[in-house]
Every structure is written in C-alpha cells, then in structure tokens.
A = this chain, B = another copy of it.
Amino acid sequence: MVSFTSLLVLVVAVFPVRVQCLWPQPTSITSGTTALNLSPRFYIQPDVYPPPADLLAAITQTELYLRTDSMQRLVLGRGAYDMSAVQSAKTLSSLVLSLEPGATVESISTEAVKALGTRSEGYTLTVPADGSTATLKANSTLGLYRGLTTFSQMWYEYNGQIYTVSAPYDIVDSPAYPFRGFMLDTARNYFPVSDIYRTLDAMSWVKINTFHWHITDSQSFPLIVSQYPELAQYGAYSSADVYTPTDIQNIVSYAAARGIDVLLEIDTPGHTASIADSHPEYVACNQATPWSTFANEPPAGQLRFTDPAVRNFTASLLSSIAKTLPSTVFSTGGDELNINCYTYDNQTQAELNSTGLTLEESLSVFTQATHGALIAEGKTPVVWEEMVLDHNVTLSNDTIVMVWISSADAALVADKGFRFVQAPSDYFYLDCGGGGWVGDYPAGNSWCDPFKTWQRAYTYDPLANLTTTQIPLVLGGEQLLWTEQSSPTNLDPIVWPRAAASAEVFWTATTLGGGALNVTEALPRLHDIRYRMVQRGVNAIVLQPLWCALRPDACDLNA
C-alpha cells in the first residue's frame, strides 16, 4: 500500500507545482530543488551553422532579459531566504544551442510562417545543477526560439544575484496545437506600430504563434494598400492613423523573428463602410439609419457583392495585399452579414433580378472569386463561422473557420468537416464586461457580458462536444480584443496576462488529459509571468493583492 506521503511525492515529481516560473507549462518537465547561479559572464552559444541572423538576435534578446528582468521570486521575503542556498550553489556559465542531426538550418522567420501543422516548435532543454553547460536542442530554429523563451523564465534576481532554486531542469516540450493566437482589432480605434511591437513581444513570451490582425472595419481603414491608396487616404481616421506598406513589412518581420505568423484579415463583405469613404459606389447601406436595422453596430455599410465590379475590386484588393505577406493564411472575414442592407438596396436588387441569382448564390460567386484570388497567391482562406453555418457558399475544403459566436458552435463547424480555430466569445473575448458603449443608453451592457476572466478562458476545453474523428479539425485557439472600448491607453492591462490563458490551453492542454486545466495550479505561475511581463515593460494587470501573490494558495476560496 502506498502511503499518502509517498503518493504526494510521486505527484510532485510528475507535476512539480512549485516550479512556478514557466508559462506555458512544458508538456514534460522534471525539476529539482537545487540552487544554481547564473554567471555574470553567462553566454548562449549557437552551435548552428550558419547561425541565422534572427537566431543571433534572439540570443542577444534572451541574454538581455536575463540581465535586466530583475525579477524577484514571488515568495515571502522574496529572495532573502534563497541566499544561503545561493551562496553554496554552482554557477552556470553557458547554454549551448544545437539542432538535431539532419535538421536543415533555416531562420526562425522562415520556420514561423510555414503552413500550419508543418512547423517544428518542440525543443529539449537541460539545465544541470552542477554548473555544467546547459543544452537546448530542437529540430528547427523555431524550436530553439521556444526553448530560449522557456530558459529566460527560469531565473530570478536578488541583490544582484541571478539564480534559480529549481535546478536541475529536464524539459521536453512541444505544443498540443499548431495555432495559438491573439487577435487585435485596429479599426475601431487605432494602435501605433509601437503598441503592436510590444504586444508581439508579450505574445512571444507565452509562445503565442499567430497574430490575427483584424486591420480594417466599418469605422476605419488604416491599411495603406499600394495599389489602392485612396482606401486609407479617405478611410483612415487621419493621415497619421495608418499602417504603411513599410509598417506592415516591419511588423511581419518583427513577428516572424519571434516565431509569430501574421494572419491578416480584411473583413468582407460586411464591416466595410470605411471603403465607402473612397468608393461609395461599392458599398450598400453606407451609414444608413437607423444603424441597428442594417448592422450590429454603427456605421452600417457592406460591399455590394452582387456587383461584378465590386467582386473584381475585392479580389484584386485581397490579392494585392496577400502577395506582400509571407503567411500561408489570410482571412476574408465574413461575419455578421446583414440582409436588410441588401433588401433595401436598389442596385443589389436590380443585379439579382438581372442575373437571376439569389442573394446566397451571388454571395457564393463573390466568395469563390475572392478566395480564388487568395488561393492563386498560395494562401489558405480563413473565415468567421457564419460563412459555413449561416450561408450556403462554396468553400475550398481546406478553408479554416473561426468559431466566435459561441463555444457551442464548434461542434457545428466540425460537423461541416472544416478545420477550425477556437475563438468563442463566451470564453475568449477580452472586451466583454466593460459596459455598453452605444450612446443614449445608460443601462447598456456589453453584448457578451460578463467579463471573461482568465480563469474562464483557462478552463476552456478545446475538445468539448467533439467526436474522436473531429478532434484533428481543432487547429488551436485564440483570445481576441475588439476595440470599441480599447485603445493604446488600456491595451496592456486588458490583454495581459489574460491572453496567456489560451496560450497555455493550446500549448499544454493534451498533456493534462484533454480536459480543463486547473486554475489553482496555474495561479502562482500566472502571477509569475505577469510580474515578469511588467518587468519587461508590458503593463499587465495585477491578479490579486501582492499579499496573495507572495503566499500561494493563502487566498484560495477555502484556504
């Protein structure tokens, strides 16, 4: 018979909850209780030939984090009680990076934008307790990048000493799902490029690998498209509130060097009133009132997709943008199409009459044209769930679907046989719960009340209600920030550390059996990554009084 004590030791060995420093939790980890110092002359050596520039940059950045994080342990007394162990600890002088035999050397940036399911993000990281060289191995530079991220989270600082108390580490890690995203809407309110860089940094720290960029909407068109400069010239909030082609390339490069693919979304045919600012002839029900008859939010305005000129314009627009991007995915949106907008639009009705097509048939023609243009550029189209659940359009079999309205819709999309991304509003929308923003409505609440806590997101089961054969359709998931009530002033605290919740769900989930993760185990680690984010300049919101953060479990419900 196994005693309770023995069982406890066993459990701790398998899942060492007191290693509170890593997020997402590696899929396999053993760690110890030995102190280990980081040498002031510590260096990271890439045994990778020739070492790609972005790998060298990642090494430099990691070394900088190690030296500047100044992250104190979240325990009573902070590092004070660690110092006696530290004084007799060995010192780690170097970490050596290498690729597994036979691996082809490519840059992180090249690896990061490969097709979903073909990237190699796994790595093996060993940090001995005796001061001998630490080793990080992977099949790709992208895997090495993920390992560097893990390594940079292991270290604390106290009185100038950088150290860990959990050596040795043996980690074998790889993600459960290929798509781990964060979506930002830059159309309701504009975000300068610097905010996006900072957000990409934070995403990389929790191994999020997709920046889903909802870049345009009815409110504004901040994207300068070389072939159609009039769109931003008239549709952006101002000549300063734009993303130039150079901005886009810089952001895509910045992301890729951090293992992040950019999934750009030009939402069509709805959410396009801002196109009317330069092309009024392309848009039905532009700023029509009452807006609630024609759109889910002001202003109304949708592309006249029945018009061949609009079809050609849209296909050309998407193509001209897509061809500048390295990613294999591109989103055409497709959510919240309002039928009234077309019912009351004389031009649309005349075109339907002349062609003899129904609205849905015409939508299918439009979608095939726009998706065809993307496919011709080598892109896999991505759409919101309505395009498969509410409309009768012909889609390529490999189209990726975003489930957003409800987690219950995942199974419906799976029934249609499409691969999909879990982005359900009832778990993953970061903007819910801030009250209503529509005017003249004092009692208004956000449509997706209540606030989606990190605990809510963290307990999402990506495989709920799916059959065994449907499970491979789940590509992963993402948390999302729609920005009716957000702007640069609150970006960090509304996103972080909450968006780290899905990052772990989709990196670690299957390790823990496919069910919901455990918020009680997670909280100390989430505190840790939150405080580390703040040390690195991201204004992540605090989760509890510091009193609680320093005393794991003391603020639990039944403590």
User: How many chain-A residues does the 8 Å CB contact rule pick out?
Assistant: 73
- State whether B546 touches A220 (Cβ < 8 A): yes
> Which residues, 178 to 227 on A, are CB-close (under 8 Å) to B?
188-190, 218-220
Q: Mark A446-457, 1 if CB is under 8 A from B, else 0.
A: 000111111110
Q: Mark A428-450, 1 if CB is under 8 A from B, else 0.
A: 00000111111111111100011
Chain B contacts for A558, CB-based, 8 A: 290, 292, 440
**Stretch from A377-385, A504-512, A549-557 contacting the other chain:** A549-557
Q: With A541-B489, A554-B299 known to touch, is A547 a contact of B219 (CB < 8 Å)?
A: yes
Flag whether A545 is at the interface (Cβ < 8 A). yes
- State whether A543 touches B440 (Cβ < 8 A): no
- State whether B534 touches A484 (Cβ < 8 A): no
Chain B contacts for A190, CB-based, 8 A: 546
Flag whether A523 is at the interface (Cβ < 8 A). yes
- A443 and B486 CA atoms in complex are apart in Å by 25
Chain B contacts for A2, CB-based, 8 A: none
- State whether A437 touches B189 (Cβ < 8 A): no
- State whether B451 touches A451 (Cβ < 8 A): yes
Flag whether A228 is at the interface (Cβ < 8 A). no
> In the complex, what's the smallest C-beta–C-beta distance from A262 to chain B, in angstroms?
23
Flag whether A131 is at the interface (Cβ < 8 A). no
- State whether A441 touches B545 (Cβ < 8 A): no
- A44 and B13 CA atoms in complex are apart in Å by 72
> In the complex, what's the smallest C-beta–C-beta distance from A155 to chain B, in angstroms?
20
- A493 and B541 CA atoms in complex are apart in Å by 11
Chain B contacts for A324, CB-based, 8 A: none
- A519 and B488 CA atoms in complex are apart in Å by 25
- A441 and B119 CA atoms in complex are apart in Å by 36
> Which residues, 502 to 550 on A, are CB-close (under 8 Å) to B?
519-520, 523, 534, 539-548, 550
- State whether B547 touches A299 (Cβ < 8 A): yes
Flag whether A296 is at the interface (Cβ < 8 A). no
- State whether A440 touches B553 (Cβ < 8 A): yes
Q: With A291-B559, A445-B450 known to touch, is A541 a contact of B490 (CB < 8 Å)?
A: yes
Flag whether A250 is at the interface (Cβ < 8 A). no
> Which residues, 301 to 327 on A, are CB-close (under 8 Å) to B?
none
Chain B contacts for A219, CB-based, 8 A: 545-547
- A435 and B542 CA atoms in complex are apart in Å by 12
Contact residue among B287, B299, B440, B450 (Cβ-Cβ distance under 8 Å from A556): B440
- A31 and B495 CA atoms in complex are apart in Å by 42
- Apart from A219-B546, A439-B523, A484-B545: 17 A-B pairs, beta carbons within 8 A: A218-B547, A219-B545, A298-B559, A299-B554, A434-B451, A434-B453, A435-B456, A437-B548, A437-B555, A440-B519, A442-B456, A442-B459, A444-B455, A450-B450, A485-B544, A493-B493, A493-B494
